[in-house]
Structure 1
Amino acid sequence: MIKDEYYDAGLALRRAMFGPSGAEDQVEHTTDLNDKIQEVVTRYCFGDVWQRDGLDLRVRSLITLAMLVATGRSHEIRIHLRGAVANGVTAEEIRELMLHSFLYCGIPAAMDGFRAADEILSASASPAPAEESTHV
């Protein structure tokens, strides 16, 4: 695995968007089977493309969500909803994106997006259990 400034920047962005479980936990638990894809995701996706000038992280998150809804990637929608919230996308913007998606992607795709959004936004609005709320 190539670890350079792109890798470090990508890992930092993954951490900011998805927390340790989407950053260190992912790359530290690679295998010979998936180590190259983790490098590609960390270095190229998040260390390079996501950090280019021209679009801020909030806009990139909205675009990513729209493409994931369009391609029916429910698992990735849930992951990127968390990242979108971390990047400042509001619940209202997510609702409008999901509603708008039915025009171009169809009702089933929009409904998958709405289900994922409801799950993630409901979970993020719930207070943390007492034992977790003391962690910083």
Structure 2
Amino acid sequence: MSDDLFALGEQIRTEVLGPDYVAASTANTDAFSEPMRAFAIKNLWGDIWARPGLDRRARSIVNLAILSSTNRAGELKIHIRAALNNGLTRDEIGEIFLQVALYSGIPAGSEATRIAKQTFAEIDASTR
């Protein structure tokens, strides 16, 4: 079962985050960080992201709200890209951050908006 969860997790992770991100993440893994990577792939990606209760688009919305509300800038940047891969538009992402600003505070919403703007610029620059 554990190997099945890992394989499924890697598949979902690659589909959501993209093969380039997954390859870079794997290349940056060492003996110290491997247990955390394996734990996340099995449990987060292989179990939770595979559950039928929410589709990937809905999971992305939840992630953007949580990560921006808890000031997790590095993960937020990753999941902004994932949200776009999962079908959210830039406008919808902006609306999520307005909601965050209302419920979690303007600094959280403003920082998330700044990170999204930077991420969008990086994506646009790489597609030229």
- TM-score w.r.t. the length of structure 2 is 0.90
More displaced 10-residue stretch of structure 1: 78-87 or 2-11: 2-11
> Residue 109 of structure 1 aligns to which amino acid in structure 2?
A
Deviation readout 1:83-107 (Å, 9 max, x if unpaired):
1100111111101001111111111
| Alignment CA distance shift 1:74-1:32 (3 Å) | same
Equivalent residue, structure 1, for 2:78: 79
Distance 1:9 1:30 in 2: 19
Q: Larger C-alpha radius of gyration, 1 or 2?
A: 1
Deviation readout 1:95-128 (Å, 9 max, x if unpaired):
1001111111111111110011111223323462
Runs of 5+ consecutive residues of structure 1 not aligned to the other structure: 130-136
The alignment status of 1:35 with 2:34, answered yes or no, reads: yes
Question: Among the aligned pairs, what percent are the same residue?
Answer: 32
In the TM superposition, 1:36-55 aligns within 5 A as 36-55=35-54
SS of residue paired to 2:49:
helix
Aligned length: 128
Runs of 5+ consecutive residues of structure 2 not aligned to the other structure: none
Deviation readout 1:37-89 (Å, 9 max, x if unpaired):
00011111011101101100000000011000110111111010011100111
Distance 1:65 1:20 in 2: 21
The alignment status of 1:110 with 2:109, answered yes or no, reads: yes
The alignment status of 1:65 with 2:64, answered yes or no, reads: yes
More displaced 10-residue stretch of structure 1: 37-46 or 18-27: 18-27
Structure with more helix by fraction: 2
